[in-house]
Structure 1
C-alpha cells in the first residue's frame, strides 16, 4: 500500500515562544519583545511543514481534553494538519515548552517536559501513507506505527534527535535515519539510508557503500525554532512522493528539498511566519 500522505507520529507540545535581546543568565530576568503561543514538538512541526509544502499531513499524537490541548489542535488544524489524538479524554495538560529566541541571530533555548510519563499505546491509521515520520517520543505508539509501516512496505523516516531507549528497538524498523552530526548512538547505524545534518555545514549521507554530501543554501538566521523539524518534514514528504525507500541516486534531491525548506524557516521570525513563504517552494 502506498500513497502521498506523510503520517507523523510523536510529540505535540504547546510552545510559549518569547523573543529577547539576550538569553537570560541564571537568576536574571529579561523582558521579551514578543510572545507567541502555538503547537510545537518535532512531529507536529514536521506535519505543519508537510502541509505548507503541499503534502497531505496527518499527525498521531497525545493531546487530551485540557484547554491548552484544544489550542494546539486548533492551531494545527488551521495549518492543514489532520490530527488524531490517541488519548482524547486525558485531562492533564499537554506538554508545554518554554522557548526563548535571541533576536540577533535566532538562536534559542528550550525547556520542555516532552512526553515523560505519558503512556500512549494505539494503532496508527496508515491508509494512503507514502511515508511515516517518527520522532521517538511516545515509544509504544512509534513502535506500532513502524511495525505496521514495515508490513505494508511504507518507508519509515526517523528524526533521531537525541538517543532515546526506544531507538534500541526502533532502529531496525527505520529505512531513513536522519540525525544531526551531534547524535551519538551506542551502536553503528546500519539503516538503508543514513543522513547527518550539521547546521549550516554540508549534509552528509550514506546509502550502503555509497556516500556524499549536499551543500546547505546560505540564509540569514532570524529564527531557528523548529528548523530541524521542518527539515525532517520536508525530507519525509520527498520520500513519500518517491513512493519507496530512496536510493543513492535519490538522496541528494531529498536533502536539497529539505535544505531549502529549512532555509525558508530560519529566514522568517515567528512561529508561523514561514508557512506562506514555504508554499512558494512548490508553487
Structure 2
C-alpha cells in the first residue's frame, strides 16, 4: 500500500480532534462526520506549502462550517418531535483516553448558548486554542471573544456535575436500575432515584418515546410501574453497560427489537437525571461499538 502524501497525513493526524470539535459543536456524530468530510474536500484544494499552521487552519475551517450548519440544525430542532438529546457516543473504558470532560449533561447546557458562545467556549476552554486564534476564527476581536467565552463558562459551570462518579459505582447503579425496572421493583427504584429526578426520552418521532420530560420521583416511579404492568420493561434485554458522553449507563434491546441507550446523571449516589435515546438515526455509533463487543445471542 502506498503511504499517504503529506497533505493527507497532516489531515488524518488532525481528523480525531476535528471530529470531536464538530461533534461538540453540533451534538450529532453523523453531522460531524459530514462536516469533517467537507473540510477534507476543501483541504485537498489547498496548497499545503502555503499553510503556516495546518492545525489552526483546519480548526478554523471546521468551526466555520459548523457555524453555518448550526442555523439549519436549530431550525430542524424547532420541529423535532419530543425531547432532543445529543447523539449518544460511547466513551472508552480507560478514563485516561477521554479527550475532554464534557458530559451529556454539559452538552445540553451548550445547547442554551448562542453559536458564537458555544464556539468560543469549545475552542478556548475545551480545545485550548489561543484567544487570538479563536478571535481570528470567529471574525471578532479578542475582547469580544473573551466575553463570549466568559458568558458560556457561567452557563456551563451551573450544569457541571458536583459529584464525580467512579466507573465501578456507575456500572453498578446502571445494572441495578435495569434490574429494578425489569422486575417492577418500585422499592429498589426509589432507593436509586433522587426526589428531583428528571427523565428525558428521545425518539425523534421515529419510535415511541415520552414526548415531554417526566419530573419528580413519584411520577417516574408511576411511569416504571406502568411499563412493568404492560410487560414493556420485562421484555427488555440488557446488552452491556456503557459510559455515554461521560455518564454511566447501558445499552438494551427493548420491545419490538428497538435499540436504546440509557444514561444517568448521578449526585450523592442517587440518580438525578435519566437520558433515554431511542431514535435509530442517532444510534449508528452505538451499533458500531456493539458489533465489535457483543457476542451472538442475548445477554441478560
TM-score range, shorter chain: under 0.3
TM-score using structure 2 length: 0.26
TM-score using structure 1 length: 0.27
For the pair shown, which has the larger CA radius of gyration, 1 or 2?
2
More strand by share: 1
More helix by share: 2
